[in-house]
Structure 1
């Protein structure tokens, strides 16, 4: 008989969370939102009504009324409409276009599920006007989608599809997968109504897979009902039954889903009627009838009555079939559902014939013909009105543009000019594109030449670095080594051995230190770029050598494991950091007399942190005269674009902390 396909709509929860954060100072809402989703539908509605009775501010009342409107739709559509109408008045008193738009949208949803499509369209259009003012693109296209659903319910599939495609393009472009899924579901329902079942099934299966992956059982159940309708129309009755029962199980498990349970009962009744299982159809239809009456779903109540009428007709219980058809007609009349009324008239005619009431049979046959003719005339009249409006508009434009002189000739001239303009524009665009492409190629060639020149320069610089480092190593290094050897030999020259040995040792040590620093410089020059791992290894090697040469002092080195050892830096930066470590440790050894020195490397926020800490005597920086060591360390930190912090307290040790922004 008549089945129910599910559309999906955009809920108010996004507004609720927006408003919640906006009014985060309201203590009652903090507790309220914590328990909101842990309750059954009945408990949720009771909690919302309790909160409404306590709410004093208009903003608080509007937020709660929005939720009550939405969550009452599957429970009692009449109650939902009452809350929605109250919310509009409250939102108007606030003067907030965001909250007023949501109030109109919530009421539009309740109107649509009630079958009041004119009111639904009016409220959604009001919401859309306000959302264009606030500029919330997601809400704008959500409302466009919901307007499409109203058109679809009113059998205006072309208008619905225009809205859906416009919204789908936006949601896909902005990566809003969830809202795009809602729109695809509704497009699938349009294909179902157009009886393009393969296309409808393809879209619905895609929607079902997405909702399964998101664990969105409630909306998955809607999709399963739609797939069941497709399978029923394809006469895949076993698959359709499986789809419906799976959806029914989800709806019955969800608290407060009586409305959707009722419509699924109706779809099962439709399926069993199609299979000739009238008794089974009646059992499900009667269950659906009870629930539809409880939630005030008048249109769906009428659909279920029509299914019961069909079942009793098939069982040849014509009096009962007539009773349900007459009841369905009365309910459809209250919904202004003239297409459904016409269908009832056509189906009632053979019932009256079977009851041996030929006059009544003829009456309903005639009523069907008259109503169908009226609907056809209305459709033609609407089409004629549209065409007439378009014609008058074209005539007005033509009168202004051509002053009613030589209409056809001037039309030809205008269209010829337009074609010529298009051709010239196309040629101009092609020439412009070609020139633009040539300019881009020239720019890219110039950039390539610059890049090649930079690479060549870098290669030459690297060659110079290698030559300089080789000269430093081969010439200056060899000379310093010779000086050390000569000094070592002079120490054993008896006439001056006793008096100059200390002086020789000092010169030799200075020269050895110079060689060490020279090697560090050569290492940095050869590298060009060094990694954090290489720098860490260099520091570790230095600490190991320091530990060997200074007995009684424990050296430790730690590198945060979260740091990437392959993180690279310019070699000049690496040697600056290394020199700061050397200077800090030498100062500690020279003045602090520590028993332990700790060097650590870590990341603090967005900064690279190097800390050298000892447990030595410490000092009060305000009472000492800073020497070259402290000045050099601060200067190096400044050249690195970082900051050097020195913390020390007499008797409690010293810490030198280098902070460098991590590029």
Structure 2
């Protein structure tokens, strides 16, 4: 389980530098001030502080006051206060684990502060956005925002905010497992906070240091720092930091194979997380309980805790945590002699990893496209401004020279005109070169994405195969589950093959029929090895030129349909011969997969995912899939689509 790293949220309010007083005491005082306030302007500042301090006690109350604060500031019309209200609201959402809402609130705060040129507010909003990206494991975006904010505070000499940003950068290094750098930064942060008696902030950095020592297996030192964090959390009166400290202690005890102490810490943390209604922390402590019960071999309790955590984390869209728990559930269901459930959660885990990769690819592609469009627009604006300035200079220069020198002015005007034409040609050449450079960068990013797909996801799936095959040797379920584990391992190997097919198509861009035919023949060769009793044949008609191409998306659809059809024939048809033929008539391509097996009546069978997927892929090709089969006469699957 990933340890909980703390990041600092910049909310610029009165008395932010001191947490010595109890939050409950401060809240009572603020409520009294609110009743005595005579103007909306006074109430705006009080609502802001109420939102901040309620976040230490109860997040639902913090959200309620945050929304009231926003409504009041918009009524008053003070843009600086509106920016602060959005920031306060984002803080409450972030601590509750509603990251999408938090990101939206922080972006609105940044937009308003940029509009009014509030430099300090801009730095605070960027730091807040970095904290959300960090909790969503979007390391590059988080690092970028933190560095921009740190630059401002170093220029203004604000040691306190520099200290907190160093802490956040250390958390990023910890996430990237750069532990020596992270620990060095944490020690600098802790020294400053100890010297200035920042009790609440010390609890945060002690938590982070405890997690570092846990990750490096120095469990004794980890427990020392986490206990110091717990002591400071209680002293500061902050329920949220106490809750997360209990979560870190539970994680430590599990790592040290002390599950009973982990259960005790997690249950204590759940009580406090419920008090402040922190859904994310409650779910993560259920996750920790599941790990503890697994260590104790109390698999029914482990299953209950894991499923409870998944239910909440799915609502919070915490996909990384959900996929980690799904992987943990596989051996639990195996130990409970529930192989179908183990298979189900294995499939879910693989599906989550693939979806996460797709989202990362989409996000990267969108960032590249946005950057390209922005640069293009900036170039167009610059060229327009240059043209306007040149025209103005040309006009005024021509008038002055015409009045002063006459013919000489005319000659100078001609010279200026030629120069403008040359500048225009140079600008056009630069635009073309910039476009070529952008296209090259896009190609490099596409290759990078394909390598990441191969290296990262392929490695993860290979790890799953190894882990599942190792489970065969655990008693008492060895003999009962061997066949199921073999099935899981086979499925995962097939997934790796399909992933490589996808990477092949992505890298190719345009795929020749010769290359696609080679891919099909490789697949049939593997089928021959696994089914020696079946004769496989493949033919590519002379009507198709081998060097002619089709798009990468089309090629992968055709390959997947052939693979699915051949696989179904091998598994169900009891055939002795399977033929794959590719032909072309006019502009139509035809792919036929024929077997001499027992056939079937399509109306009498329950369609599975295989038939549905083949028809769906044919539809995406803009074609049709026809199935002709009679009992005893074999089956013919015909794919037809327009090649134009």
TM-score, normalised with respect to structure 2: 0.58
Is 2:288 aligned against 1:307? yes
Given the alignment, which residue of 188, 193, 208 partners 2:190? 208
For 2:424 and 2:339, the matched residues in 1 are separated by 63
Compared with structure 1, are the counterparts of its residues 361 and 231 closer, same or farther at alpha carbon in structure 2 (3 Å cutoff)?
same
For 1:413 and 1:307, the matched residues in 2 are separated by 51
Is 2:263 aligned against 1:279? no
1:168-225: CA deviations, max 9, x gaps? 1221122111111111110000000010000000111011111111111210111111
Contact in 1 for aligned 2:23/2:56 (Cα 8 Å): no
Contact in 2 for aligned 1:164/1:183 (Cα 8 Å): yes
Given the alignment, which residue of 68, 76, 80 partners 2:58? 76
For 1:398 and 1:91, the matched residues in 2 are separated by 39
For 2:315 and 2:436, the matched residues in 1 are separated by 53
- Runs of at least 5 residues in structure 2 that lack an aligned partner in the other structure: 384-422, 438-644
Given the alignment, which residue of 23, 28, 37 partners 1:46? 28
Compared with structure 1, are the counterparts of its residues 387 and 169 closer, same or farther at alpha carbon in structure 2 (3 Å cutoff)?
closer
Structure 1 residue 240 displacement after superposition: 0.6
1:9 is aligned to 9
Is 2:76 aligned against 1:94? yes
Structure 1 residue 406 displacement after superposition: 11
1:298 is aligned to 279
1:478-521: CA deviations, max 9, x gaps? xxxxxxxxxxxxxxxxxxxxxxxxxxxxxxxxxxxxxxxxxxxx
Structure 1 residue 140 displacement after superposition: 2.2
Contact in 2 for aligned 1:398/1:404 (Cα 8 Å): no
- Runs of at least 5 residues in structure 1 that lack an aligned partner in the other structure: 18-35, 416-663
Is 2:322 aligned against 1:341? yes
* Structure 2 counterparts to residues 117-266 of structure 1, below 5 A: 117-255=99-237, 257-266=238-247
1:61-111: CA deviations, max 9, x gaps? 212111110001121111101100110000111111222221111111111
For 1:168 and 1:366, the matched residues in 2 are separated by 43
User: More displaced, 112-121 or 127-136?
Assistant: 127-136
1:435 is aligned to none
For 1:272 and 1:48, the matched residues in 2 are separated by 40
2:308 is aligned to 327
* Structure 2 counterparts to residues 384-403 of structure 1, below 5 A: 384-390=365-371
Is 2:350 aligned against 1:369? yes
Compared with structure 1, are the counterparts of its residues 406 and 97 closer, same or farther at alpha carbon in structure 2 (3 Å cutoff)?
closer
Given the alignment, which residue of 239, 250, 258 partners 1:269? 250
Compared with structure 1, are the counterparts of its residues 37 and 146 closer, same or farther at alpha carbon in structure 2 (3 Å cutoff)?
closer
Compared with structure 1, are the counterparts of its residues 413 and 57 closer, same or farther at alpha carbon in structure 2 (3 Å cutoff)?
closer
Structure 1 residue 352 displacement after superposition: 0.5
Is 2:368 aligned against 1:378? no
Compared with structure 1, are the counterparts of its residues 413 and 86 closer, same or farther at alpha carbon in structure 2 (3 Å cutoff)?
closer
Contact in 1 for aligned 2:21/2:236 (Cα 8 Å): no
For 1:412 and 1:53, the matched residues in 2 are separated by 62
Q: Any idea what SS the aligned residue of 1:304 has? A: helix
Contact in 2 for aligned 1:12/1:70 (Cα 8 Å): no
Is 2:5 aligned against 1:57? no
TM-score, normalised with respect to structure 1: 0.56
Contact in 1 for aligned 2:203/2:241 (Cα 8 Å): no
Compared with structure 1, are the counterparts of its residues 94 and 16 closer, same or farther at alpha carbon in structure 2 (3 Å cutoff)?
farther
Is 2:337 aligned against 1:356? yes
Structure 1 residue 393 displacement after superposition: 6.8
Contact in 1 for aligned 2:287/2:309 (Cα 8 Å): yes
Contact in 1 for aligned 2:314/2:322 (Cα 8 Å): yes
Higher CA-based Rg: 1
Structure 1 residue 137 displacement after superposition: 2.2
Q: Any idea what SS the aligned residue of 1:325 has? A: helix
Cα RMSD between the aligned structures?
3.0
Q: Any idea what SS the aligned residue of 1:13 has? A: coil
Contact in 1 for aligned 2:243/2:273 (Cα 8 Å): yes
Contact in 1 for aligned 2:126/2:149 (Cα 8 Å): yes
For 1:395 and 1:134, the matched residues in 2 are separated by 27
Structure 1 residue 388 displacement after superposition: 4.3
1:604-649: CA deviations, max 9, x gaps? xxxxxxxxxxxxxxxxxxxxxxxxxxxxxxxxxxxxxxxxxxxxxx
1:417-460: CA deviations, max 9, x gaps? xxxxxxxxxxxxxxxxxxxxxxxxxxxxxxxxxxxxxxxxxxxx
For 1:117 and 1:109, the matched residues in 2 are separated by 10
Compared with structure 1, are the counterparts of its residues 199 and 129 closer, same or farther at alpha carbon in structure 2 (3 Å cutoff)?
same
For 1:412 and 1:333, the matched residues in 2 are separated by 43
Structure 1 residue 398 displacement after superposition: 9.9
For 2:211 and 2:45, the matched residues in 1 are separated by 37
